[in-house]
């Protein structure tokens, strides 16, 4: 059976590199009974030398994906959240680790993939990044850096050729760009590997050597202009024998399955205008899109170009300092990839939970790419590395050293509910809506049907249809979160904001919960699932919970933005973050907002938002773990209207009408008038 | 036509499947798999951008990726017929059509990334034929096949090999609605018992035979009539007969050598 190229490209790192499968031609060579030593003088010499010494000739490149939340939430503006919880910060932990270990692990170069900061207009965030990157400079570890979309003033995406006329480096007022102030060419030039920036100052290239082979890192900021592309081409042309690693902020994306590569318009533009006809580019790295994926493409010379995207920013703690090492192994003709956090192993043990990983070992984060370097570089150089006489594989050493004094946190397995009443009952429950017993999968919820409040007195009913909504758009389902004790869930389907198709449940006009302002704080919980076909164009900002009435009208003199919106926004953002935004009771002048990381489609999750007046905090937990972007100096409660108005489940509110309908399933939703510890949440069991 | 068939048959006689020659493997990419034939559009596969109809390997590491047009096609329509014929001959038959409303003049580049990885040893170059092998470092061929790369006999194709990249440039002009076809061959010579000097001779002889009498079996009269990079002789020329005889003589030499080895 023929062996496809794509079958042979990537293998789990644990697998012993097998020359019989890493290259299709090797398979056929083996079938023909030919020995490797019969092939090509350069390879012969190298293999012979290696066989004699058994040494590994390799080096590692350190890669830092989007650090934006590390920069942001280490600032005093955001309450120095890392320092407060852990006594250390993730960005500094990353660069500190590289600085301390570059020699020991033969790391000649580091690459930052952009989105250095989250908010380019906040100097404190740049200061955090500045200090972190300075650790590399002090240690003499050269690095390439580039600007991501969060690092530039104008953040326009690319979709078509005409977009080159706006939002690129060519249209910027360079004097105003903070990136060029904090990371100017003069700073880059202090590194021995630096060669040149383009005339805009956003793009740069470096040459570094490893085992006698010179590599280029061509580092292109988001978004590159036509002139920038011409500069990049000229750089490659002026170094015609050098293999090139192309670093970008955006290029490759990840498909909805969270695993498969997905090409972007911007990446395809770069492919067609820069990559495909420059054989020297053998590898591209980018961040920006949340997750990890790898795509092997073939250029105009039939050679492989390995495109890899990685960005952990939507994970726990804005990425938990996860970074990468790419071990380029000349001896075994492969590149091994390791994704690890030098910060997790430093954290106080008491802070560790099930979301802390010293290393990510799933296939997309730990893998090996077969590259016959002599063959791959043959079109532009005679590959003759200086062989190591005593080198050992790098990543296994990193792994051993990293985990030497680290113990994975013990995780207490949660207990599934024994029956529909197996949850902690709390006296201060204002409302607890859940699907009724006896429902059938797919059973249509008729207009006027009840979504019961099992705490009593605040039942919701399905609202009348409006616009293109159909009665079949809302159904009961027996599907539920594994820790929910409810009989099932209510599913909102066919929602489409582009045509105003939405559905909702409402409390009755006189329901007691309508007038609650939560003066003693609150705990709001929900079990939620958004489906696999959740699409931002139709479902962005879809609301699970809201209150009728414009928030600009609540007592207390609201002065913030969007006064037409509800005083409670419990929604899924365009980036699939959970948004909890309320107008507090104790200070109603501005709304306060918590944001989760990116939630996964087609997977149930539990959300708890706890507002604690004693600590002046509002903390969101997803699946039990606190999110990063919480509210420091939180005000108390969430203000009702002077004349109480109904709560909304399944839609939001905008200036007098229901808006932004939910697309997905809600298992239970409970409002409690005080902060609760986790052992009183709906994920716990009755005592 | 009879004369053409006769000519092709004679060429076939010059390169019979020999017991001691290795058997090339198809390795022709069809968009999802590798086989011994591809008939379809030109261009590249979705997502991976791998060239449709390219030959990967071909047997004994002959090619990294061989036999596709990597520039110049532009807006032209392209139809490919790539196949491994008998006798270790790969044939690349490409038809280009101007589907636009204005005339197109372009340089089409037929490309091959050879398996030598830069250790190329060229023994013949010119007249539409390049004969090359992978140098073992002592000016001898390795166990990889000796290649005869044939790009036409009328000078339309300009072939070059640097360092392991085979490029044939065809500058063509097509009026709206007009089509033409380009015919390329790659012959692989490799004794099954290991490299011999005779492999080079066989490759050269076969390449010259394909120049004078290209293998056209399986092509329709319309396809043959559209070929632009060959001048097809109506009757076999004396030189062709001589080449064919030379090829047969070469086979005879290997047979003798092989018998001794047995």
Tell me if ipTM is over 0.95.
Answer: no
For A2, half-sphere exposure in the C-beta direction (CA atoms, 13 angstrom radius) is 19
Chain A hits for B48, Cβ within 8 Å: 5-6, 295-298
Q: What is the DSSP string of A506-528?
A: EE-TT-GGGG---TT-EEEEEEE
- Counting one residue from A and one from B, how many pairs have CB atoms under 8 Å apart? 109
Angle formed at CA A650 by CA A647 and CA A655, multiple of 5 degrees: 60
Instruction: Tell me if residue A476 falls in helix, strand or coil.
Output: strand
| CA-wise closest residue to A109 among A195, A29, A47, A34 | A195
Domain of B84 in residue numbering reads as 2-261
Task: Give me the helix-helix angle, B197-212 and B2-14, nearest 10°.
Answer: 180
Question: How many other β-carbons are positioned within 10 Å of the β-carbon of residue A413?
Answer: 6
Check pLDDT > 50 for residue B251: no
Question: How many other β-carbons are positioned within 10 Å of the β-carbon of residue B163?
Answer: 15
Residue B15 pLDDT grade (very low, low, confident, very high; cuts 50, 70, 90): very low
| CA-wise closest residue to A97 among A325, A288, A392 | A325
Q: How far is the C-alpha of A491 from the C-alpha of A505, rounded, in Å?
A: 12
| CA-wise closest residue to A420 among A372, A457, A452, A377 | A452
Check pLDDT > 60 for residue B239: no
Q: How far is the C-alpha of A247 from the C-alpha of A89, rounded, in Å?
A: 25
* pTM of this structure: 0.82
Q: Which two tokens stand for residue A354?
A: 């099930």
Is A58 within 8 Å of A391 (Cβ atoms)?
A: yes
Determine the pLDDT at residue B253: 42
Instruction: Tell me if residue B214 falls in helix, strand or coil.
Output: coil
Determine the pLDDT at residue A7: 36
| CA-wise closest residue to B185 among B11, B10, B6 | B11
Determine the pLDDT at residue A620: 96
Is B175 within 8 Å of A70 (Cβ atoms)?
A: no
Q: How far is the C-alpha of A181 from the C-alpha of A547, rounded, in Å?
A: 45
Question: How many other β-carbons are positioned within 10 Å of the β-carbon of residue B86?
Answer: 12
A299 touches chain B (CB under 8 A): yes
Q: Do A302 and B65 touch (CB under 8 A)?
A: yes
Question: Please, where are the H alpha helices in A21-162?
Answer: 24-31, 41-53, 68-72, 81-86, 90-101, 123-139
Place of tokens 């009208």: A553
Is A498 within 8 Å of A665 (Cβ atoms)?
A: no
Determine the pLDDT at residue B258: 36
Q: Which two tokens stand for residue A304?
A: 């492989």
Chain B hits for A277, Cβ within 8 Å: 71
B68 touches chain A (CB under 8 A): yes
A278 touches chain B (CB under 8 A): no
Instruction: Tell me if residue A63 falls in helix, strand or coil.
Output: strand
Chain A hits for B116, Cβ within 8 Å: 40, 378
CA distances from A258 to A44, A248, A526, A602, B183 (A): 41, 20, 24, 11, 45
Q: How far is the C-alpha of B83 from the C-alpha of B91, rounded, in Å?
A: 6
Is B66 within 8 Å of A25 (Cβ atoms)?
A: no
Nearest beta carbon to residue B60 from set A2, A29, A44: A29
| CA-wise closest residue to A64 among A254, A286, A397 | A286
Task: Give me the helix-helix angle, A90-101 and A123-139, nearest 10°.
Answer: 10
Instruction: Tell me if residue A157 falls in helix, strand or coil.
Output: coil
The per-residue pLDDT for range A602-619, each reduced to its tens digit, is: 889 999 999 999 999 999
Instruction: Tell me if residue A569 falls in helix, strand or coil.
Output: strand
Chain A hits for B115, Cβ within 8 Å: 25
Q: Which residue of B has its CA nearest to A380?
A: B163
Is B54 within 8 Å of B67 (Cβ atoms)?
A: yes
Nearest beta carbon to residue A25 from set B48, B57, B116: B57
Is B95 within 8 Å of B31 (Cβ atoms)?
A: no
Chain B hits for A40, Cβ within 8 Å: 116-117, 119, 134, 136, 142
Q: How far is the C-alpha of A89 from the C-alpha of A70, rounded, in Å?
A: 7
Determine the pLDDT at residue B234: 67
Q: Do A39 and B144 touch (CB under 8 A)?
A: yes
A226 touches chain B (CB under 8 A): no
Q: Please compute the mean of the pLDDT values over residues B34-43 and round it to a whole number.
A: 98
Determine the pLDDT at residue A411: 77
Q: What is the dihedral of CA A383, A12, A309, A140, to 10 degrees?
A: -60
Chain B hits for A28, Cβ within 8 Å: 25, 27, 57, 59-61
Q: Do A40 and B64 touch (CB under 8 A)?
A: no
> Structural domain tally of chain B?
1
Q: What is the dihedral of CA B186, B191, B197, B203, to 10 degrees?
A: -20
| Rounded CA Rg of chain B | 18
Chain B hits for A276, Cβ within 8 Å: 49
B54 touches chain A (CB under 8 A): yes
Q: Do B34 and A375 touch (CB under 8 A)?
A: no
Determine the pLDDT at residue A456: 86
CATH superfamily to which A5-192+313-402 belongs: GpdQ, catalytic alpha/beta sandwich domain (3.60.21.40)
Give residues with Cβ within 8 angstroms of A212, minimum separation 6: A384, A385, A386
- The B residues from 82 to 141 touching A (CB cutoff 8 Å) are 111, 113, 115-119, 134-137
* CA end-to-end distance (rounded Å), chain A: 61
Angle formed at CA A468 by CA A466 and CA A472, multiple of 5 degrees: 90
A34 touches chain B (CB under 8 A): yes
* Region for residue A70 given its phi and psi (left: phi exceeds 0; alpha: psi -120 to 50; beta: otherwise): alpha
Pick out chain A residues at pLDDT < 70: 1-53
CATH architecture designation of domain A429-680:
Sandwich (2.60)
Q: Where are the domains of chain A?
A: 5-192+313-402, 429-680
Angle formed at CA A306 by CA A301 and CA A309, multiple of 5 degrees: 145
CA distances from A379 to A41, A239, B65, B112, B168 (A): 16, 13, 13, 11, 16
Is B136 within 8 Å of A41 (Cβ atoms)?
A: yes
Q: Do B64 and A295 touch (CB under 8 A)?
A: no
Maximal C-alpha separation, chain A: 88
The per-residue pLDDT for range A476-508, each reduced to its tens digit, is: 999 999 999 999 999 999 999 999 999 999 999
Q: What are phi and psi of A437, to 5 degrees?
A: -65, 150
CA distances from A292 to A112, A219, A337, A653, B10 (A): 16, 19, 12, 36, 58
Q: Do B70 and A38 touch (CB under 8 A)?
A: no
């Amino acid at each position: 059976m023929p062996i496809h190229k794509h079958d042979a490209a990537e293998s789990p790192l644990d697998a012993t590199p097998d020359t019989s499968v890493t290259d299709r031609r090797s398979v056929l060579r083996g079938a023909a009974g030919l020995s490797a030593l019969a092939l090509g003088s350069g390879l012969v010499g190298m293999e012979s030398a290696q066989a004699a010494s058994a040494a590994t000739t390799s080096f590692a490149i350190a890669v830092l994906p989007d650090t934006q939340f590390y920069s942001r939430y280490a600032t005093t503006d955001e309450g120095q959240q890392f320092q407060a919880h852990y006594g250390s910060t993730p960005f500094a932990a990353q660069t500190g680790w590289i600085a301390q270990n570059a020699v020991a692990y033969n790391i000649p170069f580091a690459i930052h993939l952009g989105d250095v900061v989250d908010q380019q207009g906040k100097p404190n965030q740049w200061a955090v990044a500045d200090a972190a990157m300075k650790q590399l400079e002090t240690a003499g570890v050269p690095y390439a850096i580039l600007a991501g979309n969060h690092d530039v003033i104008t953040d326009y995406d690319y979709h078509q050729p005409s977009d080159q006329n706006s939002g690129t480096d060519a249209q910027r007022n360079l004097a105003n760009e903070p990136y060029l102030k904090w990371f100017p060419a003069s700073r880059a030039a202090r590194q021995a590997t630096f060669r040149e920036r383009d005339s805009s100052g956003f793009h740069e290239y470096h040459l570094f050597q490893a085992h006698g082979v010179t590599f280029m890192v061509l580092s292109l900021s988001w978004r590159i202009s036509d002139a920038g592309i011409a500069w990049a081409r000229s750089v490659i042309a002026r170094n015609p024998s050098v293999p090139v690693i192309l670093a970008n902020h955006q290029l490759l994306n990840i498909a909805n399955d969270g695993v498969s590569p997905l090409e972007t318009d911007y990446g395809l533009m770069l492919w067609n205008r820069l990559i495909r006809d420059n054989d020297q580019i053998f590898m591209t790295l980018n961040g920006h899109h949340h997750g990890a994926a790898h795509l092997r493409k073939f250029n105009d010379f039939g050679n492989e170009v390995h495109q890899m995207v990685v960005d952990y920013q939507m994970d726990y703690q804005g990425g938990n300092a996860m970074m990468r090492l790419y071990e380029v192994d000349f001896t075994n003709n492969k590149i091994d990839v390791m994704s690890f956090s030098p910060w997790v192993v430093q954290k106080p043990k008491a802070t560790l939970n099930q979301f802390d990983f010293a290393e990510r070992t799933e296939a997309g984060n730990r893998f090996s790419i077969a590259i016959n370097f002599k063959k791959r570089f043959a079109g532009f150089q005679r590959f003759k590395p200086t062989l190591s006489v005593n080198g050992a594989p790098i990543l296994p050493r990193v792994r051993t050293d990293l985990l030497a004094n680290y113990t994975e946190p013990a995780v207490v397995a949660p207990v599934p509910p024994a029956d529909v009443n197996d949850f902690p009952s709390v006296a201060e429950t204002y409302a607890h809506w859940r699907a009724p017993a006896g429902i059938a999968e797919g059973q249509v919820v008729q207009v006027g049907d009840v979504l019961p409040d099992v705490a009593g007195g605040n039942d919701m009913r399905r609202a009348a249809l409006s616009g293109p909504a159909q009665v079949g758009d809302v159904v009961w389902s027996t599907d539920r979160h594994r820790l929910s004790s409810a009989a099932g869930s209510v599913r909102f389907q066919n929602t489409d904001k582009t045509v105003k198709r939405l559905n909702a449940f409402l409390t009755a006009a006189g329901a007691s919960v309508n007038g609650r302002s939560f003066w003693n704080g609150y705990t709001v919980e929900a079990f939620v699932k958004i489906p696999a076909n959740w699409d931002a164009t139709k479902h962005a900002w879809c609301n699970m919970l809201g209150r009728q009435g414009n928030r600009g009208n609540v007592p207390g003199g609201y002065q913030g933005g969007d006064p037409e919106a509800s005083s409670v926004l419990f929604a899924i953002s365009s980036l699939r973050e959970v948004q909890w935004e309320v107008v507090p009771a104790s200070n109603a002048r501005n709304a306060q907002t918590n944001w989760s990381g990116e939630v996964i489609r087609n997977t149930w999750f539990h959300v708890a938002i706890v507002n604690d007046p004693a600590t002046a905090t509002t903390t969101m937990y997803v699946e039990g773990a606190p999110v990063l972007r919480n509210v420091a100096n939180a005000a108390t409660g969430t203000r009702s209207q002077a004349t109480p108005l109904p709560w909304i489940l399944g839609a939001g509110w905008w200036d007098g009408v229901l808006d932004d309908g939910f697309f997905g399933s809600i298992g239970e939703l409970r409002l409690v008038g005080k902060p609760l510890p986790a052992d009183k949440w709906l994920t716990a069991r009755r005592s | 036509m009879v004369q053409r068939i006769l000519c092709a048959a004679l060429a076939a006689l010059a390169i019979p499947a020999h017991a001691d020659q290795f058997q090339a493997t198809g390795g022709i990419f069809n968009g999802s798999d590798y086989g011994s034939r591809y008939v379809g559009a030109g261009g590249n596969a979705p997502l991976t951008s791998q060239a449709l109809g390219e030959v990967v390997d071909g047997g004994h590491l002959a090619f990294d990726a061989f036999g596709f047009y990597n520039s110049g096609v532009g807006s032209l329509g392209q139809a490919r017929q790539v196949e491994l014929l008998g006798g270790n001959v790969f044939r690349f038959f490409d038809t280009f059509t101007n589907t636009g409303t204005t005339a197109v003049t372009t340089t089409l580049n037929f490309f091959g990334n050879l398996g030598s990885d830069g250790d190329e040893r060229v023994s013949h170059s010119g007249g539409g034929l390049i004969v090359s092998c992978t140098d073992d470092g002592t000016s001898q061929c390795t166990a990889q096949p000796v290649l005869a790369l044939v790009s036409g006999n009328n000078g339309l194709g300009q072939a070059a090999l640097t360092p392991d990249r085979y490029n044939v440039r065809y500058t063509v002009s097509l009026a709206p609605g007009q089509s033409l076809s380009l015919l390329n061959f790659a012959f692989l010579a490799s004794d099954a018992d290991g490299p011999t000097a005779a492999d080079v001779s066989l490759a050269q002889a076969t390449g010259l035979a394909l120049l004078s009498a290209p293998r056209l079996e399986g092509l329709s009269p319309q396809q043959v009539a559209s070929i632009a990079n060959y001048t097809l002789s109506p009757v076999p020329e004396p030189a062709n007969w001589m080449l064919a005889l030379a090829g047969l003589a070469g086979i005879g030499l290997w047979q003798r050598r092989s018998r001794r080895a047995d």
